Chain A
């Protein structure tokens, strides 16, 4: 079974530029999560989708971050404009339910903002 795919794996941009990340979840998984993991910290949930609807985006900085999941499959996360503090690994996970033991993570995108 194919896992969660993410691209790109690495991205370096300058502050104030825009960047987008893509995630393809495991086939059939209705739940999709985007996490931000800053070095030395645990993952922080940015947004959670159930199919193409948003379940939780309470920690998404909506002035600069946006995410969509068209057709309830792939998802993109965008940052515009980027700030230095956005340097982190952005992890996508998908799941067949809401419990953490149904979550599977992709390899992540490591973003460096200069």
Chain B
């Protein structure tokens, strides 16, 4: 089993729809969780951190489910500009950061 797994997609979603992705992790002792966004041929950029209590930033909501060992990202009222690859990052105990391979999202007009 990979340490961090994501559905590669692509998710093809009409503009204005709600879409959600999950990211599963194998190390139950993982402590920190993040979602990054990566546009085509660009560097990754932090989208949001994921807290135990959940985290909302505008149209984006991130949740952590420790019992089932996954994090989720929900995007409401999707925009064309949301088209990107969404990478999850998990931090097990220690210094390491484990990156998922990303989920590709395509928002269609």
Contact = CB atoms under 8 A, between A and B. Distances in A.
Contacts of A48: 95
A2 interface: no
Interface residues of B, number: 21
A43 B44 contact: yes
Interface string B11-48: 00000000000000000000010101000001111100
Contact of A44 (B42, B45, B91, B99): B99
B43 A91 contact: yes
A103 B45 CA distance: 9
Interface residues of A, number: 19
Interface of B: 4, 8, 32, 34, 36, 42-46, 49, 87, 89, 91, 95-97, 99-102
20 contacts: A40-B101, A41-B102, A42-B4, A42-B101, A43-B99, A44-B99, A45-B99, A56-B96, A91-B43, A99-B91, A100-B32, A100-B34, A100-B46, A100-B89, A101-B32, A101-B49, A103-B46, A103-B97, A106-B43, A107-B42
